[in-house]
Amino acid sequence: ETGVTQSPTHLIKTRGQQVTLRCSSQSGHNTVSWYQQALGQGPQFIFQYYREEENGRGNFPPRFSGLQFPNYSSELNVNALELDDSALYLCASSPPQARPTDTQYFGPGTRLTVL
């Protein structure tokens, strides 16, 4: 167990709806990254938050947005859902003074299905 939790485990939405996914990092981890993993593919970097501000973004449109809170929790919001947004969404947290690419602790993921 990494101590990183995500909710919900599974989620079904219809095209055009909005969704919020949640992640709870380990206490003290002030960096969180979000990834999208389509079936049969490796995770794709969406964005990273450090001390409640976005600190890097992958090739994802603005309808993917996030928030990070002082209590080490974070959210991924996706507006105007499309069928291709169906995927496993992973969050990963890093402790202070650690480079994110050295030490990341992944949560179990949220499986999103868009119909």
Partner 1 sequence: KQEVTQIPAALSVPEGENLVLNCSFTDSAIYNLQWFRQDPGKGLTSLLLIQSSQREQTSGRLNASLDKSSGRSTLYIAASQPGDSATYLCAAPRPGQNFVFGPGTRLSVLP
> Interface with partner 1 includes 30 (CB under 8 A)?
no
Alpha helices in 1-115 (DSSP H): none
> Interface with partner 1 includes 43 (CB under 8 A)?
yes
Cβ-based nearer residue to partner 1, 53 or 102: 102
For residue 99, give both structure tokens: 């480079």
Residue from 28, 40, 62, 70 touching partner 1 (CB under 8 A): that is 40
Which residues neighbour 101 within 8 Å (Cβ) at sequence distance 6 or greater? none
- Using CB under 8 A, which of the segments 13-21, 62-70, 72-80, 97-105 binds partner 1? 97-105
In one-letter notation, the amino acid at residue 16 is: G
